[in-house]
Structure 1
Amino acid sequence: MSKTNDKYEKGRLRSSNITVVISISLVLFLLGVFGLIVINAQSYAEHLKRELKIEAYFNDVDDPKIKDKELSMQKEYIDSLKIKYDFIESTKYISKDDASKIAKQDLGIDDVELFEANIYPPSVQITLNPKKIDSIEQIDSINNILSQNPIIEEVKSDKQAMVTIYQSINKITFWLMIFAGIFLVIVIILINNSIRLKIYAKRFSIKTMQLVGARRRFIMKPFLLEGALLGLLASIIAILGIGIIWYLLATKIGLLLWNPTFGYLIAALIGLGVLIALFSTLFAAWRYLKLKTDQLY
């Protein structure tokens, strides 16, 4: 009879362990998918920021004494931008000829006689570092910095497009954070319930050890170690599932297979799985340590 009971208890414990691992894996998988959405939304936001160019137009030099030095002065100014300012990611020099070609394309004029060349000044097109730019005020400040140099005649940027993009990014980020917080609470509740069911199956063992004089720290240590291992195992399963889904998606639509931010996501999922399992085990075991014997039934 005792062997039958032992087999029954072992079967229940094995079943509860599987349930805990599956529950944690599922919620971490969903949380990881949500993390991928956030990461790619941030990457897309950075892509939009890079598309917003600032163009600084050079003054037309009239003095014949320095006319031959005009190009070298402009190139020297462009090189100094990269050294002085970390908010500049890249620069592109546009000569008068290049500006005329761009204007022809924009205006749709093919006939040379209908188009007056060399009326467009040379300029430098500046791509901003999206990680250094967080607001429109910074764009205005950058425009002022660039326009203060006497070699620059005018600085232009599509401010309205920048305002629209930054407002959209802020709204998306805000609502993503709200949903992330709500989802995290749901995740903790689900995992905590699974852990409590597992500890419930061992409540008599806990009370027996307590009655024979075992300290609470001694009683809880194996439960915490087991909980940490289950959380780690569930995290690995969830990460493997996310990796497979991401590989299939990325190869199908042409996305990068690896983003440096994915490393932080993997570490966060492992840490979250282990921590939630530990704390849930701690609270559930502590609850049964405080129960009286007649309350176990």
Structure 2
Amino acid sequence: MKSKVRNNSVSYFDMQFITSSISTMLVLLLLGLVVFFVLAANNLSVYVRENINFSILINDEMKESDIIKLQKNLNEEPFVKESVYISKSQALKEQSEAMGTNPEEFLGYNPFTASIEVKLHSGYANSDSIAKIEKIIKRNTNIQDVLYQRDLIDAVNENIRNISLVLLVLAVVLTFISFALINNTIRLAIYSKRFLIHTMKLVGASWGFIRKPFLTRNIWSGVLAAVVADAILMGTAYSLVSYEPELIRVITPDVMLLVSLSVLAFGVIITFLCAYLSINKYLRMKASSLYYI
């Protein structure tokens, strides 16, 4: 009897299974996009912060060998990502090309100073940290000045905080919406089987036995939907990176792996929970109640 009930209760890859999988896939695609934007935004914030630099102006009296030694010492500091030494002659050449004229020709001397351009690790790219770093650097008496755009740094960090907050709220809201949409899809599918569930109860089937085919079916539906959603997201990411290779700094393989695993986890967990809750609802109902829902 149990075998007969099982065969009648499970029908994989029918039209209901396909439509349920498509609906779930669309919702998981939306969730995947949210996860993608959150992770990509984090990478973008790191990329932007690590491209904020400041200039260390060197006194003319300092020898080039000492400047190179200073640069080497800076590179060993935990806050420095990389540094570039710009000599007086190189600074003159770059500024002459930018202005279209050579200031040395009418001034009679090179007005520019040697400098070291420093890029920081993202965790130190804020005004407070740079102010402390500035004090450390200025202990060297050969340092003329440390230049950085405080307003720009503050504006970048403020915008990053605001964007992160918006994405976090959006992620929470869309997670609840996605759960509701998938739950509604699964409830409708199980609703059509409510009398079959009641019949299985009448012939003595246990609740665990009744749940198993429904849970298995919906988990497979979630897996299929997640695989299709992941394929779409991966294909889109690959197209974007192919079109603009520089995006690989933001759309990294690690990001796409986390997105794929998140979508798969959402697909399995949400479909399992929704199916479990819906089945329990009909298992608790009396026969008379099934006609009025």
TM over 0.5: yes
**Matched residue type, 1:247:** Y
Aligned to 1:64: none
Moved more, 170-179 or 158-167: 170-179
CA contact (8 A) 1:16 1:197 kept: no
Aligned to 2:14: 14
Structure 2 CA distance for partners of 1:76 and 1:253, relative to 1, 3 Å:
closer
Displacement, 1:267? 0.8
CA contact (8 A) 1:25 1:235 kept: yes
For structure 2, the 5+ residue unaligned runs are 1-7
**Matched residue type, 2:140:** N
Displacement, 1:196? 0.6
How many residue pairs get aligned? The number is: 282
Distance in 1, matches of 2:12 and 2:72, equals 71
Aligned to 2:161: 170
Moved more, 31-40 or 278-287: 31-40
The aligned runs of 1:258-277 (5 Å cut-off) are 259=252, 260-277=254-271
Displacement, 1:22? 0.6
Structure 2 CA distance for partners of 1:171 and 1:237, relative to 1, 3 Å:
same
Displacement, 1:237? 0.7
Structure 2 CA distance for partners of 1:48 and 1:57, relative to 1, 3 Å:
same
CA deviations 1:133-170 (Å, max 9, x no partner) are 46432232222232233443321111111111112222
- 2:108 matches 1:102: no
CA deviations 1:168-199 (Å, max 9, x no partner) are 22222222222222222211111000111122
Distance in 2, matches of 1:124 and 1:152, equals 10
Aligned to 1:24: 24
3-state SS of 1:271 partner: helix
Structure 2 CA distance for partners of 1:133 and 1:216, relative to 1, 3 Å:
farther
Match among 276, 280, 286 for residue 282 of structure 1? 276
Structure 2 CA distance for partners of 1:11 and 1:219, relative to 1, 3 Å:
closer
Aligned to 1:242: 233
Structure 2 CA distance for partners of 1:268 and 1:116, relative to 1, 3 Å:
farther
Structure 2 CA distance for partners of 1:210 and 1:52, relative to 1, 3 Å:
same
Match among 118, 122, 127 for residue 126 of structure 1? 118
Displacement, 1:272? 0.9
Structure 2 CA distance for partners of 1:289 and 1:10, relative to 1, 3 Å:
closer
Displacement, 1:222? 2.9
Aligned to 2:200: 209
3-state SS of 1:172 partner: helix
The aligned runs of 1:1-297 (5 Å cut-off) are 14-61=14-61, 70-85=63-78, 87-110=79-102, 112-130=104-122, 132-133=123-124, 135-254=126-245, 256=247, 259=252, 260-297=254-291
CA deviations 1:227-248 (Å, max 9, x no partner) are 2221111000111122233333
**Matched residue type, 1:102:** E
Moved more, 92-101 or 241-250: 241-250
CA contact (8 A) 1:78 1:124 kept: yes
**Matched residue type, 1:22:** I
3-state SS of 2:76 partner: helix
CA RMSD of aligned residues (A): 2.7
Structure 2 CA distance for partners of 1:197 and 1:133, relative to 1, 3 Å:
farther
For structure 1, the 5+ residue unaligned runs are 1-7, 62-66
Distance in 2, matches of 1:264 and 1:27, equals 18
**Percent of counterpart pairs with the same letter?**
28
Distance in 1, matches of 2:106 and 2:91, equals 16
Distance in 1, matches of 2:105 and 2:74, equals 38
Aligned to 2:3: none
Structure 2 CA distance for partners of 1:227 and 1:149, relative to 1, 3 Å:
farther
Distance in 1, matches of 2:9 and 2:261, equals 35
Distance in 1, matches of 2:13 and 2:225, equals 17
